[in-house]
Amino acid sequence: MIGLKFYSYEYLLNKIDQSNTITYVTGGFLLLIIIVSLFKYYKNRQDSKYRELAIIMILGIFLLIGIQVSDYQSNSISANQYKSSIEFIEGVSEKLNIDKKHIYINSEASIENSFLKIDDNYYRVISNGKKGDYLLEKIELVEPIVEKVEVKR
């Protein structure tokens, strides 16, 4: 049987806030190597291996910057999609006077053709594409296999 994944409000918020620590650590490491190699090169100008190492690390930094720009653009698109789901959950929470922690959505990015799980009830989202303009239709799932995706703490 195929199950449905429902994502919590906190999980969606966390997806936006995730930072790419590996990239920052790698960039810091490359910067440290550049500083050390330039220091050693200026200390002993006869030894060109440190100058070459610094040049290689500077090229590595430029490569890392290029990768970061590309990642930033794709992460920005993803963040906008997550924000639409977050804003939708906030709107449903406000209109139904329900705590956001009780609302789960089965789509991380879009509310189109998505389902909501509010406590033990399930709803189909019918949207006409306008922001904040939607209809919730209560549905019954037969023997639902539901997985709640929460923030890992």
Q: What is the mean pLDDT of residues 37-45?
A: 76
**125-153 pLDDT, tens per residue?**
988 777 778 889 999 988 888 888 888 76
Q: Hey, what long-range contacts does 28-31 have (CB within 8 A, 24 or more apart)? A: 30/57, 30/60, 30/61, 30/64, 31/57, 31/61
Which helix (DSSP H) or strand (DSSP E) does residue 148 occupy? strand 146-149
Tell me how far apart the alpha carbons of residues 34 and 56 are, in angstroms, rounded to a whole number.
9
**75-116 pLDDT, tens per residue?**
777 777 788 888 889 999 999 999 999 999 998 877 888 899
* Count of structural domains, the chain: 1
Question: Which residues fall within 8 angstroms of residue 80, CB to CB, at 6 or more apart?
Answer: none
Domain extent for 93: 4-149
**CA Rg, the chain, in Å?**
24
If pLDDT is split at 50, 70 and 90, which confidence band does 2 have?
Answer: low
116 contacts 93 by C-beta, under 8 angstroms: no
Taking Cα atoms as reference points, which of 127, 134, 80, 135 lies closest to residue 108? Answer: 80
